[in-house]
Chains A and B, each alone.
Chain A
Amino acid sequence: DTAVSQTPKYLVTQMGNDKSIKCEQNLGHDTMYWYKQDSKKFLKIMFSYNNKELIINETVPNRFSPKSPDKAHLNLHINSLELGDSAVYFCASTQRGDAYEQYFGPGTRLTVT
């Protein structure tokens, strides 16, 4: 069974469109994250939810809006897509505690044309 899954795996869209990426985890974790990996493979945290409460909101354009319907799901909605949004987006989850070991999804490659 896949622990952290993301859909879709690939997403190609035009500038100005609105799109969503979905993430689900079946590990029973209480905290989920979105990361962005740029073309140089650098990974940066975007958002985090703990039990449906937003706990991390980095300096991300407000075109990006996370939504957590329950603690097993964390979706990412992006409005008015721009060329610079092209990247790989990773979802991750953890059980809040001392180690904060995170489990990552397979990633969603977003290409904006």
Chain B
Amino acid sequence: AQSVTQLDSHVSVSEGTPVLLRCNYSSSYSPSLFWYVQHPNKGLQLLLKYTSAATLVKGINGFEAEFKKSETSFHLTKPSAHMSDAAEYFCVVSDRGANTGKLIFGQGTTLQVKP
């Protein structure tokens, strides 16, 4: 069975400093992994996805994530945080074995960006 663990429920950074949001996954199959962002009172927007191509994935707004099979990790990074990055971030794995597209969400990480 697939599962996702986001290691930090809350991360606080200063504007202009790097961002690291950590995610570990468990999967019986070669996984598809995603990061979604949810701004306050908004829907979910896809930041980036990994689907067994390049292990370093570039997304929107300067975000990147690296798939590390040996560590079962898919951490999200950004070199320099902006105030507009403050939001809830979800690491997600797709249950490819069931062939239904079912997404399994992590618990979420709240990113706070201080001026």
Residues of chain A whose beta carbon lies under 8 Å from any beta carbon of chain B:
4, 31, 33, 40-45, 48, 50, 55-56, 90, 92, 94, 96, 98-107
- B32–A106 touching, CB < 8 Å: no
| Interchain residue pairs with CB less than 8 A apart (17) | A40-B107, A43-B44, A43-B105, A44-B105, A45-B104, A50-B100, A55-B100, A56-B100, A92-B44, A99-B49, A99-B51, A99-B94, A100-B94, A101-B34, A101-B46, A101-B49, A104-B36
The one of B43, B46, B49, B105 in contact with A106, judged by C-beta atoms closer than 8 angstroms, is B43
Which A residue's beta carbon lies closest to that of B51? Answer: A99
Are B102 and A56 neighbours in the complex by a CB distance under 8 Å? Answer: yes
CB within 8 Å: A-B pair count = 57
Are A90 and B43 also in contact (CB < 8 A) when A48-B102, A102-B101, A102-B103 are? yes
What does DSSP make chain A's interface, helix, strand, loop or mixed? strand
Point out the residue from B42, B94, B100, B105 that lies within 8 Å of A48, measured CB to CB: B100
**Shortest Cβ gap from A54 to chain B (Å):** 10
Main secondary structure, interface of B, reads strand
Q: Does B90 contact A (CB under 8 A)?
A: yes
Contacts of A56 in B (CB 8 A): 100, 102
Known contacts A90-B43, A102-B103, A104-B43; 14 additional CB pairs below 8 A are A4-B43, A41-B108, A42-B105, A45-B104, A48-B100, A56-B102, A98-B32, A99-B49, A99-B51, A100-B32, A101-B49, A104-B44, A105-B43, A106-B43
